[in-house]
């Protein structure tokens, strides 16, 4: 059986340099290092405040997995390194069943994380556990099965109490938080905490379209500046946009010559993306006429519009309701807009 001495020496020397390099499928992440067991456990949670019970229940869950390991593979294989993957049974409506795959590693793999010539992290061959849950993923690394048994006897409730005193965990952060803590003997120390930066964006969108207002067709050119607000999963969910629209109505002059009669609006809209895949925006907005040479509108003119997705992130159908003649007369319109 491989001893832990080399690993323990390595992790003890390298602990001050450990960073936050880890997968981040969920916004909130807590990395727990246990030097005595030579172990690292990472909790990825959808929302720490709602899902912290998963951390408290982790030792008991590990105890159950160890029992299933001992009952499922020969004792002669306990000294070998394995990968254990736990996934929920999607056919179980009560969410009590799970699938466990125990796979013996065919070759020894040592993992290193380096920066220039400095080794930041050294993980010799060992047991790797990955537990998939509805609202979390837990990763665990230990050199041997004895390390798993030691973790199953740890009190992770103390970790929750410790994190409650950290500013980053005092309230739910919009974009997620992360922490790195060290559990040694009965002492828990924080090596670092932080929060993710917002994944908000600014978009500049020139566009063009054609529309029908009243009984007149017209081409339109527009330009929109939008702020996209992302949620905890870095998906843009809300959009606030300011735009300028130039509508080119046409008509005849007194000499019966064709002439362009433009009208321009400034707009403000608010949109929501209801899709978890390709963005599908639905927005409502208002516009105010700032220039007019057309015979379509008179006096102060306001418009209300609805922007809908027709299956393309470029094309939108926009119904519009105009209140013209100092807001006393209503005119209905619709346009097809293309964003470049």
End residue of a domain, out of 180, 195, 210: 195
Does one domain contain both 105 and 163? yes
1: tokens are 């059986």
Residues 123-137, mean pLDDT to the nearest whole number: 87
Instruction: Report strand pairing: 201-213 vs 216-230.
Output: antiparallel
Q: What is the pLDDT of residue 22?
A: 46
Tell me: do 248 and 164 sit in the same domain.
no
**Comparison of pLDDT for 339 and 92, the residue scoring more:** 339
Residue 10 has pLDDT above 80, yes or no: no
| 65 contact partners, CB below 8 Å, separation of at least 6 | 84, 86, 100, 129, 131, 148
- Domains: count for the chain: 2
Q: Which residue has the higher pLDDT, 333 or 252?
A: 333
Together in a domain, 238 and 278: yes
CA nearest to 181, candidates 27, 53, 35? 35
List pLDDT tens digits, range 62-88. Answer: 999 999 999 888 888 888 888 899 998
Q: What is the pTM of this model?
A: 0.73
Last residue of a domain, one of 195, 228, 253: 195
CATH of the domain at 229: 2.40.160
- pLDDT digits over 265-313, tens only? 999 999 999 888 888 899 999 999 999 999 899 999 999 999 988 778 8
Position 168 scores a pLDDT of: 84
Q: Are residues 176 and 233 in the same domain?
A: no
Same domain? 173 vs 27: yes
Contact predicate 298/167, CB 8 Å: no
Query: So what's the pLDDT on residue 8?
Result: 42
- Maximum alpha-carbon separation in the chain: 102
- Predicted local distance difference test score (pLDDT) of residue 63: 92
**Which candidate, 324, 285, 329, places its Cα nearest to that of 301?**
324
CA distance 258 to 308: 34
Q: How confident is the model at residue 332 (pLDDT cuts 50, 70, 90)?
A: very high
Enter the DSSP assignment of 70. Answer: H
| 34 token code pair | 């246990």
Q: What CA–CA distance (Å, rounded) separates 332 from 327?
A: 13
Query: Do 188 and 72 sit in the same domain of this protein?
Result: yes
63 and 158 share one domain: yes
- Give per-residue pLDDT as tens, 101-122: 988 887 666 666 676 666 556 6
- Domain match, 164 and 243 both: no
Band of pLDDT at residue 4, cut at 50, 70 and 90: very low
Do 215 and 153 lie in a common domain? no
Mean residue pLDDT across the chain: 85
Instruction: Give the Å distances, CA to CA, from 233 to 20, 164, 169, 178.
Output: 18, 23, 18, 14
Closest CA to 22 of 123, 90, 100, 151: 123
Is the sign of the CA dihedral 42, 45, 49, 52 positive or negative? negative
Q: Which of 195, 227, 258 is the last residue of a domain?
A: 195
CA–CA separation, 199 and 327 (whole Å): 40
HEC secondary structure over 76-125: HHCCCCEEEEEEECCCCCCCCCEEEEEEECCCCCCEEEEECCEEEEEECC
Residues 168, 302, single domain; the answer is no
Burial class (CB in 10 A: 0-12, 13-18, 19+), 292: buried
pLDDT tens track for 18-31: 333 444 678 999 99
Residue 259's CB: how many other CB atoms inside 10 A?
A: 11
Q: How confident is the model at residue 123 (pLDDT cuts 50, 70, 90)?
A: low
Q: Which two tokens stand for residue 325?
A: 């003649």
CB 54 within 8 A of CB 136: yes
CA distance 178 to 20: 8
Residue with tokens 């965990």: 169
If asked whether residues 25 and 43 sit together in one domain, one would say yes
Q: Are 241 and 229 in contact (CB under 8 A)?
A: no
Asked if 62 and 37 touch (Cβ cutoff 8 Å), the reply is no
Residue 57 domain boundaries: 5-195
Residues 115 and 164 reside in one and the same domain:
yes
């Amino acid at each position: 059986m491989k001893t832990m001495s080399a690993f323990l020496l390595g992790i003890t020397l390298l602990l001050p340099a450990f960073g936050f390099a880890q997968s981040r499928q969920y916004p909130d992440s807590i990395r727990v290092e246990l030097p005595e067991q030579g172990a690292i456990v990472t909790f990825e949670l959808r929302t720490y405040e709602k899902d912290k019970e998963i951390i408290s229940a982790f030792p008991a869950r590990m105890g159950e997995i160890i029992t299933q390991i001992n009952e499922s593979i020969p004792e002669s294989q306990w000294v070998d390194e394995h990968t254990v993957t736990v996934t929920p049974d999607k056919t179980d409506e009560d969410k009590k069943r799970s699938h466990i795959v125990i796979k013996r590693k065919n070759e020894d793999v040592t993992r290193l994380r380096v920066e220039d010539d400095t080794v930041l992290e050294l993980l010799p061959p060992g047991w790797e556990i990955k537990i998939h849950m509805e609202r979390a993923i837990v990763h665990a690394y230990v050199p041997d099965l004895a390390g798993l048994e030691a973790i199953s006897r740890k009190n992770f409730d103390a970790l929750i109490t410790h994190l409650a005193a950290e500013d980053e965990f005092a309230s739910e952060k919009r974009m997620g938080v992360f922490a790195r803590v060290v559990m040694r003997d009965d002492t828990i120390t924080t090596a670092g905490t932080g929060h993710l930066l917002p994944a908000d964006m600014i978009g500049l969108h020139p566009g063009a379209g054609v529309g029908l207002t009243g009984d007149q067709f017209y081409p339109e050119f527009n330009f929109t500046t939008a702020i996209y607000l992302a949620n905890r999963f870095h998906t843009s969910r809300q959009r606030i946009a300011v735009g300028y629209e130039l509508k080119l109505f046409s008509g005849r002059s007194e000499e019966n010559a064709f002439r362009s009669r433009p009208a321009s609006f400034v707009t403000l809209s608010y949109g929501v993306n209801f899709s978890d895949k390709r963005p599908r925006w639905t927005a409502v907005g208002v516009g105010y006429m700032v220039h007019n040479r057309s015979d379509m509108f008179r006096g102060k003119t306001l418009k209300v519009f609805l922007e809908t997705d027709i299956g393309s992130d470029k094309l939108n159908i926009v119904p519009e309701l105009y209140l013209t003649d100092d807001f006393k007369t209503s005119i209905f319109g619709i346009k097809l807009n293309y964003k470049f």
